[in-house]
Structure 1
Amino acid sequence: MSIFYLIIGFVLLVAGGEFLVRSSVGLSLKLNLSKMIIGLTVVSFATSAPELIVSVQSALDGFSGFALGNVIGSNIANIAFVLGTTALIAPLAIDKDFFKFNWPWMMAFSILLYVLLLSGNNLVRWEGAVLLGSIVIFLVLLIIRAHKNKETLRVDEELQESVWWKIILFFILGGIALWQGSVLLVEAAVEIAASLGIPESIIAVSMVALGTSVPELAASIIAALKKEKAISLGNLIGSNIFNIGSVLGITAIIQPIQIEEKGMGLLNNDIYWMLGIALALLPLAFLPKAYHISRYKGIIYLCAYVLFLYVAFSTL
């Protein structure tokens, strides 16, 4: 029965993420926002909604390590699995501005999380407030930079002609699906972990993280196929930033996150993978061809993700 609930939870998360992404893009079109803003904020926050709801739900249920594992695992999956898969389907060209603003902010948030976790192996409320405050600073600076970019998004006619009632309906349906999906997913994953003797943190950093990254995968592939590189890459980088700043920030404020002894692999192994995979974007983007993520680079990232999963489960 747990497997059935797990599958239903995944389906609801995918459906909810799709509804939320479409409503968010429709809203951004109504407000005439630029591609950079859409990719780094609206779409990123929408595709991060599954991580937020799953993390808050698991923290409230007393599985705070599950919440942290979900975010760390999702950030790894976003770059290694989602970016790798997207590049394999449609090679990506990288804007020079990507490494002047987007990537440094992702690295800054990743390092900030690492530093905060080192001081006590937990995230207390004031540290959650620091993460959430950092998101506000990031958004303010992003909006300031966006004023220099007047380019607007070109999407299909269906989205361009979205009306307010459809935007609101999709938003409500997406929110309900994400909420119900997160409840089923957390309960099923915890039961499966307990029955197999696998720590919740490992289930969170692998199976659940991969499931909550499906909206990012769908949004990035669609954007890449439409040649909207700013949205595809911006979505992934922005999602990682929102995962750390808003997901962990809000979760820690609601319920402080404490890493138990059986979940120490998050600090001893997983977080280093998150930092390393994010850092690897720099050399991969310049070698051998600059500002280009080719198919073979995508394969490298996919192989890295498989290796990460192998190492995670080999510690059992």
Structure 2
Amino acid sequence: MSLLWVILGLLLLVVGGEFLVRSSVALSFKLKISKLVIGMTVVSFATSAPELLVSLQAALDGASDIALGNVIGSNIANIGLVLGITAIISPLTVDRGFYKLNWPVMMLLSVVLYFFLKSGNVLDLWEGAALFVSLVIFLVVLIKSSAKDKIAVEDVDDTLQSTSNFKIFLWLLIGGAALYYGSEWLVKGAIEMATALGVSERVISVTMVAIGTSVPELAASVIAALKKEKAISLGNLIGSNIFNIACVLGITSMIQPINVNSPAILTTDIFWMLGFSAILIPLVFLPKRFELSRLKGAFIFVAYLVFLYTTFM
């Protein structure tokens, strides 16, 4: 039964996330917000909603390990699983914005998160607020640099400009309800599954829950790679990791402080996350610059399998 709750929860999160993205973008067009800002803020916030709801629900239920494990595991999965498989299918070219802004911010936030958690074994309101403010600063810099460099935004569906007010309201309603029940069922199923398998909630959250919330990114990346279209950019995945730390954990800890209940989060999991983030720089520059080849993708993916094995063992 616990597996059923997890699967149903994940399905509802995917559906809810999709409806929330569509309604948010349509509403933004109504409010005359520029396409660049919609793509870099509205879409990013909406696609982080499933992770946010899961972490918030877990923190409110007193399952802090799921709240933290979900984000740390998702960040590991975005690089090891999503990026690894995508690069194996179709090699990726890397733009310069990756190491000038996106990667340094992701690395900085990852290190800051480690010290915040280590300082008192809790992520409190003020630390959460600091993470969220850093996200706002990052987005302002990103939007300004993108506007200056005339970067096109591909994530925004222009057809949503003509959406009726009734449709927007209906989509928001469906999206909100699906995200609420999806997060509740997923957290409930994860707690039951951990008990049934005799493993900790942390193990389930950094593996199964994290993979589940990374499935939409994986599906989109694999489809793009198979079609030989421009596969999901490294910037999108790095952006997702930045949002997970600064937005998901930032907002969650402002509403409900997140305690570190399992020591393994600080002694093992977060170092895997830091390692996967750090390894991207040598992979991007060596031996062929600005390319993630199939071999590099295979290396990241095998490293992810090692992470899963050691976590369960």
Same topology, TM > 0.5: yes
Identity in percent: 57
> Alpha-carbon deviations, 1:149-173, whole Å to 9, x = none?
32433579xx332233355544443
Contact 1:27–1:167, Cα closer than 8 Å, also in 2:
yes
Counterparts of 1:81 and 1:27 in 2: how far apart (Å)? 33
Change (3 A) 1:64 1:195: same
Structure 1 stretch displaced more, 165-174 or 78-87: 165-174
1:265 counterpart residue number = 264
Counterparts of 2:28 and 2:296 in 1: how far apart (Å)? 32
Deviating 4+ runs (over 6 angstroms): 27-30
Give structure 2 stretches of 5+ with no counterpart.
none
1:161 pairs with 2:159: yes
1:182 counterpart residue number = 183
Structure 1 stretch displaced more, 231-240 or 218-227: 218-227
Change (3 A) 1:281 1:171: farther
2:293 counterpart residue number = 294
SS of alignment partner, residue 182 of structure 2? helix
Structure 1 stretch displaced more, 131-140 or 171-180: 171-180
Counterparts of 1:219 and 1:174 in 2: how far apart (Å)? 19
SS of alignment partner, residue 119 of structure 1? helix
Q: What is the CA distance between 1:42 and its match in structure 2?
A: 3.9
1:191 counterpart residue number = 192
Change (3 A) 1:43 1:93: farther
Q: What is the CA distance between 1:178 and its match in structure 2?
A: 1.9
2:132 counterpart residue number = 132
Contact 1:41–1:238, Cα closer than 8 Å, also in 2:
no
Contact 2:19–2:175, Cα closer than 8 Å, also in 1:
yes
Q: What is the CA distance between 1:17 and its match in structure 2?
A: 2.8
Q: How many residues align?
A: 307
Counterparts of 2:43 and 2:233 in 1: how far apart (Å)? 10
Structure 1 stretch displaced more, 126-135 or 213-222: 213-222
Contact 1:50–1:182, Cα closer than 8 Å, also in 2:
yes
Q: What is the CA distance between 1:120 and its match in structure 2?
A: 1.3
Contact 1:14–1:215, Cα closer than 8 Å, also in 2:
yes
What TM-score, normalized to structure 1?
0.88
Partner letter of residue 258 of structure 1?
A: N
Counterparts of 1:313 and 1:277 in 2: how far apart (Å)? 18
> Alpha-carbon deviations, 1:83-117, whole Å to 9, x = none?
11222233211111211011111111111101111
SS of alignment partner, residue 288 of structure 1? coil
SS of alignment partner, residue 48 of structure 2? helix
1:13 counterpart residue number = 13
Q: What is the CA distance between 1:196 and its match in structure 2?
A: 2.2
Counterparts of 1:146 and 1:79 in 2: how far apart (Å)? 23
Q: What is the CA distance between 1:69 and its match in structure 2?
A: 0.8
> Alpha-carbon deviations, 1:3-57, whole Å to 9, x = none?
21111112112222333444556667874534x973x544433322111000000
Q: Which of 26, 30, 33 is the matching residue for 2:35?
A: 33
SS of alignment partner, residue 35 of structure 2? coil
1:308 counterpart residue number = 307
2:252 counterpart residue number = 251
